[in-house]
Amino acid sequence: MASAEGALLAAKRIVERAEERFVPSRLSSHFTIASADSEQQLTAVLREHGIDPAVHEPIAAARLQRDRVAVIPWLDRTRPLRSSRILEVGCGRGASTVALAEQGADLVALDRSQSAIEIAGARVAGHGLAADFLAGDAAELDQVLGDREVDWIIFWASLEHMTVPERLAALAAAWRTLPADGILTLVETPNRLWFLDSHTSHLPYFNWLPDELALRYSQFSPRDMIRGLAEEPANRGLRDLLRSGRGVSFHEFDLAIGPATDLDVVGCLQIERRRRNPLRSAGWRVSRSGRYESILRRVSPAVPRAFFQPFLYLSIRKP
């Protein structure tokens, strides 16, 4: 079984490398390069905030490349990014913001961290791009936006870093803010239902544990930063665990927006990639993950399939 899984993984990597060469020219022609001067300015900003550029920037570059070749084409197929009025919730240090802005989106970028906003602003400016940056809480995003109008809200690797009350408030606020035919998108959000937590702890079944038990069990994580949480005072350790990332599932949508069974899911990255590539589809069907997905779908057949992927990359259209 292990060798079969290894072969499937190797085949998946070959397919992914092949797919990277086929980013549509209408998108790749807008990729930007930061100037040497702007990179020096970004380095200075990173150091001002206590971040080592030598460690951080290779990660940021890899993230930007992945966003460009995997996420951006999917988003653009859902709805053309050019001239879309997008709110990016959780812009972080700006790699995803660059990927959106260079495609011509009319972009508002929100993050609760002022430090992240300053770094993201320097990164975006360094690429010769523009975005409207806001520091604020996603749970109050309809108030934070003021009179700005958006028709697409993207939670980019951010919903999982909120507490449950914050998630429910943020999703409800986003849904209220969107006009009819607006799009709500999740990108790179780990699925609570999945058997392996490959996002935070790298432990099996970790997403299924109650938060207090997960905190105590984090001592078995192979990741130093997660394993150390169990040694912190309980309140601080739990806070840091939640901020590190906990899985999300369709249950939050049921509570904050309405029954997931009634939602108009108009896009799912993983499903679309399999539909577009027969080799990827065939590999998924025989893989352990593919078989597990089929179990989840049999248990709750009325829930859209997009909610049963290892990570939630999905778009929902508001009626």
Domain ranges, residue 223: 200-244
- Note whether 291 and 174 are same-domain residues: yes
Instruction: For the beta carbon of residue 277, count every other beta carbon within 10 angstroms.
Output: 16
User: pLDDT tens digit string along 106-130?
Assistant: 999 999 999 999 999 999 999 999 9
205 dihedral zone (left: phi>0; alpha: psi -120 to 50; beta): left
Phi, psi of 201 (to 5 degrees): -95, -25
Which H or E element spans position 142? helix 141-144
Same domain for 12 and 99: yes
Rounded to the nearest angstrom, the gap between the alpha carbon of residue 252 and the centroid of all alpha carbons in its chain is 16
Q: What is the distance between the alpha carbons of residues 278 and 297, in angstroms, rounded to a whole number?
A: 21
- Using 50, 70 and 90 to split pLDDT, how confident is the model at 210? very high
Q: What is the pLDDT of residues 39-74, one digit of tens each?
A: 999 999 999 999 999 999 999 999 999 999 999 999
Please say if the pLDDT value at position 16 is more than 60: no
170 and 253 both lie in a single domain? yes
Residues 240 and 251 in one domain: no
Q: What is the pLDDT of residue 234?
A: 81
Query: Are 148 and 52 contained in the same domain?
Result: yes
| Same domain membership, residue 97 and residue 61 | yes
CATH number of the domain bearing residue 255? 3.40.50.150
pLDDT for 298 beyond 70: yes
Task: Tell me the β-bridge partners of 190.
Answer: 311
Do 93 and 143 lie in a common domain? yes
**Are 119 and 166 members of one domain?**
yes
pLDDT range class, residue 32, cuts 50, 70, 90:
very high
Distance from C-alpha of 248 to C-alpha of 160, rounded to nearest angstrom? 6
Read off the pLDDT band of 283 (50, 70, 90): very high
Task: Tell me: do 293 and 223 sit in the same domain.
Answer: no
Asked if residue 12 has pLDDT above 90, the reply is: no
Who wins on pLDDT, 235 or 170?
A: 170
Give me the DSSP letters along 197-260. ETTTT-EETGGGS-HHHHHHHGGG-SSHHHHGGGGS-HHHHHHHHHHH---B-HHHHHHHTS-G
d(Cα 148, Cα 177) in Å, to the nearest integer? 10
Decide if 100 contacts 88 (C-beta within 8 A): yes
Q: Is the pLDDT of residue 15 over 50?
A: no
- What is the number of structural domains in the chain? 2
Check residue 3 and give its pLDDT. 53
pLDDT of 96 strictly over 90: yes
The predicted structure's pLDDT at residue 1: 44
Residues 66 and 212 both lie in one domain: no
Q: Is 248 exposed, middle or buried (0-12, 13-18, 19+ CB in 10 A)?
A: buried
* pLDDT for the residue 143: 87
Q: What pLDDT, in 10s, does the model give residues 139-183?
A: 898 889 999 999 999 999 999 999 999 999 999 999 999 999 999
- 173-182 confidence digits (pLDDT tens): 999 999 999 9
* pLDDT value at 14 more than 50: no
Is residue 2 predicted with pLDDT exceeding 70? no
Distance (Å, rounded) from C-alpha 249 to C-alpha 102?
31
Question: Cβ(95)–Cβ(69) under 8 Å?
Answer: no
> What is the overall mean pLDDT for the chain?
92
Residue among 84, 156, 85, 97 nearest 127 (CA): 97
Cβ-based neighbours of 318, under 8 Å, separated by 6 or more: 175, 178, 179, 180, 181, 182, 183, 184, 264
Residue 82 pLDDT greater than 60, yes or no = yes
Percent of the chain with pLDDT over 90: 87
Phi, psi for 226 (deg, rounded to 5): -85, -40
Mark whether 232 and 305 lie in a shared domain.
no
* Average pLDDT score over residue span 252-266: 97
Kindly state whether residues 227 and 285 are assigned to the same domain. no
pLDDT of 86 above 80: yes
